[in-house]
């Protein structure tokens, strides 16, 4: 693509020239880390920016550029980066030791807060990540029901362990990763999302179903939003058949509402998996749920139960003191509802601003979102989802999950304008203000102007 008269370089050319330190670090990383990155979502051509520090709504790269950040720690930083109360709690705990090799008061406080906030949480089992939480939840559901199969929705992401690697990206009959045994794939029944008839058919087809697991906000961080009436149907049908309903609220927890998507939609699952926001920006996760199901984790006086029916759960870093300190500090602030509501208001502002820019510039596309999670799609393939219209979602599913071919160029253009989006999406936080959102909308406007000048859109 040629540079337009107004710009000396194209977006691609300027990106390649503008971040020399990041480029150099990426060369070094490629020699040490497979693919040069430590999370597949951070992979970016020709190289990603390297981050030096993050504070509030901002991050700075190693070349000294400042960005408004919409990754917000893959959604973990609902309070923004380095919130003073969280930093203080981490520093205080670090000086007192980061691993007790024993029980601590903090883990009880952490569990109490979660139980007060999350409707289905009648007790709490801590893990070190969201992936561990979904792995453990599926195991607990199987142990509690004595059944072996799991229903999972196409396009839903629940971490990277074998069971949930099935049906994440198209083609859905090929797992996300190589190395998943066929025997594992056979225990996972894939069902299209938001489709009550397909769900009923799958539930009817087997009497060996332990659980249904779902991202309640929608597939892949809400890219394909959930239809509330489908969620209600899912709740009713699983309850009627005694199948355990697991909401994976690793992303939606504390973000859709203080009590997560289950509070937002007023639909209480049997079990829930949590991570991200709950650990205040450190690593941590949890399985919470109905006490009778959570009882599978409890040893009793019955040696036979303990050896043959219980789900033991080791894990060196479960509820480690540092994560517990950060989690308690963050959740104490989040419990008021103010951060969650603020982030949602900022998302609405941003969505409106982006859609106005798209309309004014005549660029096909849409910005949409729910709670404080927003998505943007531009280009001829982009769906028009300014309002959540569930009748059209089916046709748009592939594009919604994949993004459009212009997504990487849009991200580069936004980076050159001081905004770091996660693909063309992101998470708002309590640290994003109306001024920052306005700055972001202007950056979007400038980016689209440049893409139009280049003839990209
Ligand atoms: C809905 C959902 N579940 C589970 C996970 C896995 O969590 P973690 O990355 O902490 O293993 C993620 C991660 O992004 C997620 O979005």
Q: How far is the CA of 302 from the centre of ligand 1 (A)?
A: 35
Ligand 1 within 6 A of CB of 14 = no
Tokens coding 451: 């893409």
Sheet of 209-214: strand order equals 123-127, 285-289, 271-274, 244-248, 209-214, 149-153, 188-191
The whole-number average pLDDT for the span 332-355 is 97
Length, in residues, of the chain:
457
Question: 181: which 2 tokens?
Answer: 């045994």
Q: What span, in angstroms and rounded, lies between the C-alpha atoms of 399 and 377?
A: 9
Distance CA 316, CA 16 (A): 42
For residue 183, give both structure tokens: 């025997």
pLDDT confidence of residue 165: 97
Least confident segment among 1-5, 9-13, 130-134, 417-421: 1-5
Ligand 1 atom 5, closest CA: 159
E strand or H helix at 109: helix 105-117
Instruction: Return d(Cα 440, Cα 437) in angstroms, integer.
Output: 5
**Mean predicted confidence (pLDDT) in 53-73:** 98
Give residue 306's pLDDT: 97
221 lines ligand 1 (CB under 6 A): yes
Fold classification of 11-80+338-453 is 3.90.1150
| Radius of gyration of the chain from its Cα atoms, rounded to whole angstroms | 22
Residues carrying CATH 3.40.640.10, the chain? 85-334
Q: Residue with structure tokens 């710009």?
A: 7
Query: Tens of pLDDT along 402-444?
Result: 899 999 999 999 999 999 999 999 999 999 999 999 999 999 9
Q: Could you identify the atom of ligand 1 that is nearest to the CA of residue 129?
A: 10
- Cα→Cα distances 279→125, 305, 333, Å: 14, 32, 13
Ligand 1 centre distance from Cα of residue 138 (Å): 14
Residue 39 Cα: closest atom of ligand 1: 9
248 lines ligand 1 (CB under 6 A): yes
Q: Is residue 324's pLDDT more than 60? A: yes
Alpha helix stretches (DSSP H) within 20-83: 20-32
**What average pLDDT does range 197-220 have in this prediction?**
97
Query: What mean pLDDT comes out for the span 119-137?
Result: 98
Please state the rounded mean pLDDT for residues 69-80. Answer: 98
Tokens of 254: 């504390």
Pair 401, 224: CB distance under 8 Å: yes
Most ligand 1 atoms within 8 A of CB, residue of 155, 157, 169 to mutate? 157
DSSP string, 350-372: HHHHHHHHHHHHT--EEEEEETT
What residues have CB less than 8 Å from 396, skipping those under 6 apart? 224, 383, 385
Residue 165 CB–ligand 1 contact under 6 Å: no
Which pLDDT score is estimated for 6?
A: 78
| 351-402 pLDDT, tens digit each | 999 999 999 999 999 999 999 999 999 999 998 876 666 766 778 888 899 8
Q: How far is the CA of 41 from the centre of ligand 1 (A)?
A: 12
Asked if residue 157 has its Cβ within 6 Å of ligand 1, the reply is yes
The predicted pLDDT at position 393 comes to 78
Q: Is there a contact between 247 and 222 (Cβ–Cβ < 8 Å)?
A: no
- Could you tell me where in the chain the CATH 3.90.1150.10 domains are found? 11-80+338-453
pTM: 0.97
Pocket test for ligand 1, best of 71, 126, 136, 158 (most atoms within 8 A of CB): 158
CATH of 85-334, one of 3.40.50.720, 1.10.1760.20, 3.90.79.10, 3.40.640.10: 3.40.640.10
Predicted pLDDT of residue 4 = 56
- Rounded mean pLDDT of the chain? 96
Q: Is the pLDDT of residue 65 over 70?
A: yes
Work out the percent of the chain whose per-residue pLDDT is above 70: 98
Average pLDDT over residues 303-318: 97
Q: Is the minimum distance from the CB of 250 to ligand 1 under 6 angstroms?
A: yes
State yes or no: pLDDT of 25 exceeds 70. yes
Distance CA 426, CA 449 (A): 21
């Amino acid at each position: 693509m040629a540079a337009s008269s107004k710009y000396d370089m194209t977006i691609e050319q300027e990106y390649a020239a503008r971040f020399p330190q990041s480029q150099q670090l990426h060369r070094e990383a490629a020699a040490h880390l497979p693919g040069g990155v430590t999370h597949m979502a951070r992979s970016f051509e020709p190289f990603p920016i390297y981050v030096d520090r993050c504070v509030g709504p901002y991050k700075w790269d190693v070349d000294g550029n400042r960005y408004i950040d919409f990754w917000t720690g893959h959604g973990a930083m609902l309070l923004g980066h380095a919130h003073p109360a969280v930093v203080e709690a981490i520093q205080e705990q670090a000086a007192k030791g980061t691993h007790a090799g024993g029980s601590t008061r903090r883990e009880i406080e952490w569990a109490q807060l979660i139980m007060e906030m999350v409707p289905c949480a009648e007790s709490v089992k801590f893990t070190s990540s969201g992936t561990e939480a979904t792995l453990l939840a599926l195991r607990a559901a199987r142990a509690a029901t004595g059944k072996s199969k799991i229903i999972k929705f196409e396009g839903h992401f629940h971490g990277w362990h074998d069971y949930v690697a099935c049906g994440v990206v198209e083609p859905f009959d090929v797992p996300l990763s190589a190395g998943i045994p066929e025997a594992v794939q056979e225990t996972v029944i894939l069902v299209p999302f938001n489709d009550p008839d397909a769900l009923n058919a799958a539930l009817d087809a087997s009497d060996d179903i332990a659980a249904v697991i779902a991202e309640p906000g929608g597939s892949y961080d809400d890219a394909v939003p959930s239809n509330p009436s489908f969620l209600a149907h899912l709740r009713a049908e699983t309850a009627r058949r005694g199948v355990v309903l697991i909401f994976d609220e690793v992303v939606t927890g504390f973000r859709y509402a203080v009590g997560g998507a289950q509070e937002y939609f007023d639909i209480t699952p049997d079990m829930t998996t949590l991570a991200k926001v709950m650990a205040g920006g450190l690593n941590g996760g949890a399985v919470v749920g109905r006490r009778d199901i959570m009882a599978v984790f409890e040893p009793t006086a019955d040696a036979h139960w303990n050896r043959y029916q219980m789900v033991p759960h080791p894990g060196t870093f479960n509820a480690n003191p540092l994560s517990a300190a950060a989690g308690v500090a963050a959740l104490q602030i989040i419990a008021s509802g103010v951060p969650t509501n603020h982030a949602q208001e900022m998302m609405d502002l941003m969505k409106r601003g982006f859609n106005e820019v798209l309309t004014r510039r005549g660029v096909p596309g849409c910005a949409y979102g729910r709670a404080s999670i927003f998505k943007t799609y531009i280009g001829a393939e982009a769906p028009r989802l300014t309002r959540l219209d569930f009748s059209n979602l089916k046709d748009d599913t592939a594009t919604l999950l994949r993004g459009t071919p212009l997504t990487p160029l849009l991200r580069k253009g936004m980076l050159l304008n001081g905004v770091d989006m996660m693909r063309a999406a992101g998470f708002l936080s309590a640290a994003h203000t109306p001024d920052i959102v306005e700055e972001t909308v202007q950056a979007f406007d400038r980016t689209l102007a440049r893409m139009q000048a280049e003839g990209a859109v």
